[in-house]
Amino acid sequence: MMLFLIAGEPSGDRLGAALMAGLKSLIPVEFAGIGGPLMQAEGMASLFPMEELSVMGIAEVLPKYLHLKRRIREAAEAALASGAEALVTIDSPDFCLRVAKIVKAARPDFRTIHYVAPSVWAWRPGRAAKMARVIDHVLALLPFEPPYMTAAGMTCDFVGHPVVAEPLASPAERAAFAGEGPLLLVLPGSRRSEVSRLAPIFGEVVGRLKVRHPDLRLALPTVRGVAGLVRDLTASWPLAPQIVEEAGEKRGAFAAADVALAASGTVSLELAANACPMVIAYDMHPVSWWLMQRAALIDTVTLVNLVSETRVVPEFLGPACRAEVIAPTLEAVLADPTPQKAAMALTMQRLGRGGEAPGLRAARSVLAALRR
């Protein structure tokens, strides 16, 4: 069997590599397409560097529009010429669904599968119907997503979230963060705009907590692209954080932390995987906040709250993202994390912890879809 896969982001590369490994464990299979180093390690020769597709935002996309348009056409033509039994696109909908549209227009019988359902339950529900014009089958990361996809006319399987398969800290990695006093994990985001906006607020929260907890300790996991900015912005904090970049150190920090202050995003699931109680805070431009409020279909942005069907993780978003209300809430969570611990355990169970690895479940779903 031949499959043509496309991933456009590092997260998609991880999903694609796990899917490829799962497929190889079940059937003889070959791969073509576009992927990063992990997918290439599983046996794909990438048509062109995946990094060319990792572009976000109108200001960033516009200068590369003609180049990206050409890459969309190249990818579609390569998929059609590959002899593949299916096109499997992985997240990155702006690129991937345009490729699928060209493929379907040329060959309506060409099977198309998309890995990662759009969050139509949160905003823009019309995206599902639009996607159904070019996608046959969807692999969903969250257990409540399949009904949204099937209602739009696609088949869909929940295959588990990759967070349940990520390695947890070893005893030695965790012990590296042992010490006197509570350990606060500070996570101000992975994009420069997020870090720039949240670092001053989070620094003020740290100052307020340090008054109440003189023995407070800080760890701040970050990524290479913003590590320098993080160091600059935290230099004036009342307590210097331990900046953590290496994977093993990050695992140790997540495992050892007593509580976390985090930007909204999938990091809440990483914290839940480590049973680390949290408070979520996020600020944005007032216009962006106004638009988000108008478009939102849900009353919480935290996946732990959504998957567990609780609202135990406190959120301070937009105008509410202020140190004077965040700090006492962090103290309250630190004092009694029990409700969150139960919700986090339930979240991990519902996302597939203890069952087959998501990559293998995704592989079985792909093969089942092709047999239909």
Residues 6+ apart with CB under 8 A from 81: none
| Same domain membership, residue 128 and residue 187 | no
Note whether residue 165 is domain-resident: no
According to the 3-state scheme, what is the secondary structure of 271-334?
HHHCCCCEEEEECCCHHHHHHHHHHCCCCCCCHHHHHHCCCCCCEEEHHHCCHHHHHHHHHHHH
| Same domain membership, residue 201 and residue 98 | no
Separation CA 11–CA 232 (nearest Å): 27
Fill in the DSSP letter of residue 46. B
| Same domain membership, residue 155 and residue 241 | no
Separation CA 163–CA 119 (nearest Å): 17
Provide the domain count of the chain: 2
| Same domain membership, residue 153 and residue 209 | no
Kindly report, residue by residue over 160-180, the tens digit of the pLDDT.
999 999 999 999 999 999 999
Intervals of the chain under pLDDT 50: 56-60
Separation CA 7–CA 3 (nearest Å): 13
| Same domain membership, residue 74 and residue 58 | yes
Token duo for residue 271: 């914290």
Separation CA 234–CA 227 (nearest Å): 11
User: Residue 349 CB: number of other CB atoms within 10 A?
Assistant: 14
Token duo for residue 179: 């010490």
Contact (Cβ atoms closer than 8 angstroms) between residue 318 and residue 144 = no
| Same domain membership, residue 213 and residue 278 | yes
Q: What pLDDT is recorded for position 233?
A: 96
| Same domain membership, residue 179 and residue 94 | no
CA distances to 248, 272, 335 from 163, rounded to whole Å, are 16, 9, 27
Fill in the DSSP letter of residue 145. -
Let me know if 39 is exposed, middle or buried by CB neighbors in 10 A (0-12, 13-18, 19+).
buried
Contact (Cβ atoms closer than 8 angstroms) between residue 360 and residue 22 = yes
Contact (Cβ atoms closer than 8 angstroms) between residue 269 and residue 162 = no
| Same domain membership, residue 136 and residue 237 | no
CA 174 from chain center: how many Å? 24
Kindly report, residue by residue over 49-101, the tens digit of the pLDDT.
998 886 544 444 556 778 889 999 999 999 999 999 999 999 999 899 999 99
Q: What pLDDT is recorded for position 54?
A: 63
Q: At what angle are helices 65-81 and 93-106 packed, to 10 degrees? A: 50
| Same domain membership, residue 183 and residue 128 | no
| Same domain membership, residue 180 and residue 135 | no
For 282, the enclosing helix (H) or strand (E) is strand 278-282
What order do you get walking across the sheet with 155-158 strand by strand? 30-34, 2-7, 86-90, 111-115, 137-140, 155-158
Q: What pLDDT is recorded for position 345?
A: 97
Q: What pLDDT is recorded for position 357?
A: 95
Separation CA 296–CA 87 (nearest Å): 31
| Same domain membership, residue 77 and residue 91 | yes
CATH number at residue 337: 3.40.50.2000
CA distance between the termini of the chain: 16
- The residue segments making up the domain with residue 290 are 171-350
Token duo for residue 281: 């805070």
Note whether residue 166 is domain-resident: no
Backbone angles phi, psi at 19, to 5 degrees: -65, -45
| Same domain membership, residue 366 and residue 309 | no
